[in-house]
Chain A
Amino acid sequence: MIEEMKGKILELNDGIEYYVLDELDYNNKKYVFTSPYNQKNETIDEENFLVVEIKINKDKLIVNDINDSNEALNISNMFLAKMAANSNE
């Protein structure tokens, strides 16, 4: 079970950090909607967004590209829809 990611900062092994704007559990997979985070300035990049899958591999939490383009599109749309719905509230 992967813990809740939304609102947290993921630091990757190469030192790059991403702020998790939103997360999604779908078909037993966890996806995150992220944006590069600048620790020095404490800012989130508002122009570049990335959607990736988070999964456990050999006891490590890894970020994974969504290889299936249909799946990638669906997940992307779901985040968009959530984004719209959240803001409509």
Chain B
Amino acid sequence: MRNDTNEQIRNLLFKNPDSQEAKDFMAKVEEKIKDSSINQTTAEELFKNLPDNIKNEHKESIEEGLELLEETVQSIMIARGRSNNSSNPAPQPQQTPPQDPIAQIKNDNQLREIQKIEKLITYYNENQLSAEEIEQLKKEEQQKSQQLEKDKKLLNELKEAAAAMHNPINEQDWHPALTEEQKEDLIAEGITPGSPEYDIFLRNHGIDPKSYIGIDKEIENKKKEIEEQELEIEKQIKIINSLENLKKPIDPRRPNAARNITKTEDQIKREKEKLNQLKAKSQRSKVELITLENSKLIYDPRLTKEQKEDLIAEGITPNSPEYNTALMGYGITPIDKMKELESKVQQEEQELNKIQEKLKRTTSLEELKEIKEAYETIKNTVIKDVQKSIDEEEEFKNLSGSQLLEKVEDLINNNIQNHEKANNLNKWENSDKLMKELKEDIKEGIKLKKQKKPLNEGSNEKLWLKGLAGATGFIAGIGLNMAVGAVPLIGTGLALYSGARLLYNTGKLACSITTKLNNGQEPKWISNIKSKIPEKVKKGAEAIFNKPKNPYAKWFVNGMSLGYTMDRIFNIHEKVGNAFGGNKTTAEVKAPTKTTEAETTHSTEPTAKPTSEQPVTPTQNKTTTAQNPTPNPKSISTAQEPTPIINPEPVIDPTSSFTAGEAMDISGLEYGYVGPGQQAVHLLTDRGAGAVFDKMEVINGQEWVHFKQANGAGYAWFPKEEVEELLASVAKRGGR
């Protein structure tokens, strides 16, 4: 059962379930399952079957894990769809047919409209056609369009002919005395044979309606005539036979016998002539009947009169096997081919649609780019303009509450509507929703009141970087799957996700820089170092440091993608950004508390905050040492001696402030926070030894302190009192 389960998970998560990477990963999962005694049947149930106490304790993380897992599975499904890897179909727990990736993106309810547009742009970019392919497709489109047009025209002709053949008015129903013009007039008037108006018309034109009885009656009469003729023939034969019987041998006793015989023979001869005449007449009648019956058969209306007469003359009727061949000889497609032609047209339309869909992608990509560009431009412009109005115009300064909100909303709406690129948003199929999202984004970017520096100062990029700075602590604290393993149950789920994404990314991109050459014997070496760099490239490099364009940027170390980490950073940035600024005007925010030299009794050295030039040398961090004349109980040695408490004196001052750059041992704190007020994360606590206090911020009255690691990388945020309690506790124990 366990093996079956693993097989299911493996098949679910990996494109190539038999790869070594997949096996290695499953070994890790197996180990974690064993540790946490989880008995699940599928990858998702790995989470759902968690014990209730664990679920309650780690509710948020579990929910997040489920979402992440789902996202991963979807990514892999899309990748499978693209790769057309039918040689190794993995059995799925749910037999869901592969969806069109474009439709999948468009139907994804989890995504905002602008995110859908971004994903579509990415998809189109990755699957863009080459110029040669586009050219080839255009040619195919032209050829297929022409063929389709031709076939459709022919199909219409066939349909018209078929409809004409089902016309209940037969040519033979018209009185033969009528001219073609008269018939056309009658048809135009809607007058047909059999109707009272028809007889009136005939009489008005000097034709006796009774002089023509119609084809059906004629056939009927002809058949009767033939029957009568047959009877007459039979009768005649009997007469002849009777006469023959009279021809007996001559009786010598009757002198007139010879004369009588001669007379009988003459009579037989006459009767036989009469019989021959009857037979000839009957034969003529039969031919006439056939002609009449043939004239009732419906010939293809596309035949000319001459062609039809030729066919009749040759005895070829619509029922003859040679009929269709004869039609084709005249260049007429038989109506029998209509169904075949309909299928052909249908197939041609589908093929043409596929080609046009592919070609449309090129147009769609440009359109999507225009929509996205319009969205970003409008957003930035309107935020800037509206913010300026709020900050500078008197009418806004005098407003507050709902009046201010209403005024701002009106201004946003007006500015959007009057923007020259607003119409571009209508190109998106769900433009109303997109517009709504745009307004939400604009509102997010507007501060209704001026806020104090420094936390709300600067651009979104700065906020993002604050998030990034905080996130580095998170990364260092819990790292990748090896770190999440520290919380076995949650770790398993996150490991499933991060491991799957890691393998997915590396499998797809193969980005290890040192891919070995010569069968793995020789690493790559640098053949040239260029120091003359184009200005454009330099600017590009600077831009990367301001804000990566793609939150899902793939960061590779040793061929392993840290894309998951970057993804988290972006999410954290958003959370931290929202907590710090945006329109959250209720949060009371103040600058990090800095203690003066006089206030700090535990430091003899000036505080040295790690700088960008000095983040990598642990010894550069300020640490308290044995030489410190008044060692602070909260300050302990760092990396070299992480745990011993230097000061045995149980001096506890929970209200004291921290000094930026001060090193402390906070390895006793098992959980930290990715940002003030954000979710708790499990930490690799050994990195808390020698952690360096970085800064403090107050959010909603709660004091939060941020620590960096000894090596300068970020560590985590904590409520200040938690750190103080820990330090106090350590100080007490150290004093005993």
Contacts and interface: CB of A to CB of B under 8 A. Distances in A.
Interface of A: 3, 5, 7-14, 17-19, 21, 24-26, 34-35, 37, 42-44, 46-52, 54, 57, 60-67, 69, 72-78, 80-89
A63 B615 contact: no
Given A52-B513, A73-B480, A46 B612 contact: no
Contact of B513 (A13, A34, A73, A76): A34
A88 B611 CA distance: 10
Given A19-B541, A73-B557, A78 B526 contact: no
A77 B469 CA distance: 10
A8 B559 CA distance: 22
Interface stretch (B47-55, B300-308, B710-718): B710-718
Contacts of B711: 74, 77-78
Contacts of B540: 43-44, 46
Interface string B494-538: 000000000000000101111001000001111111110110111
Contact of B712 (A8, A9, A43, A81): A81
Contacts of A13: 517, 524-527
A13 B523 CA distance: 10
A35 B462 contact: no
B689 interface: no
Contact of B559 (A14, A26, A65): A65
13 contacts: A11-B529, A11-B530, A14-B517, A14-B524, A26-B616, A35-B544, A47-B553, A49-B555, A52-B513, A77-B476, A77-B711, A78-B713, A80-B713
Nearest to A83: B545
A8 B469 CA distance: 26
Given A65-B513, A85-B615, 20 more contacts: A3-B529, A8-B533, A10-B528, A10-B529, A11-B528, A25-B616, A42-B537, A46-B548, A49-B554, A49-B556, A50-B556, A52-B513, A61-B526, A62-B525, A63-B514, A76-B557, A76-B565, A78-B712, A81-B469, A84-B469
A76 B555 CA distance: 9
A37 B550 contact: no
B389 to A, nearest CB: 29
B338 to A, nearest CB: 55
B712 A48 contact: no
B546 to A, nearest CB: 6
**Most chain B CB within a 10 A radius of its CB, from A63, A76, A86:** A76
Contact of B713 (A7, A61, A74): A74
A12 B616 contact: no
Contact of A72 (B545, B550, B558): B558
Interface in B377-421: none
Given A19-B537, A46-B544, A77 B472 contact: yes
Nearest to A5: B529
Nearest to A34: B513
A51 B549 CA distance: 19
A87 B712 CA distance: 16
A51 B559 CA distance: 9
Interface in B603-630: 610-612, 615-616
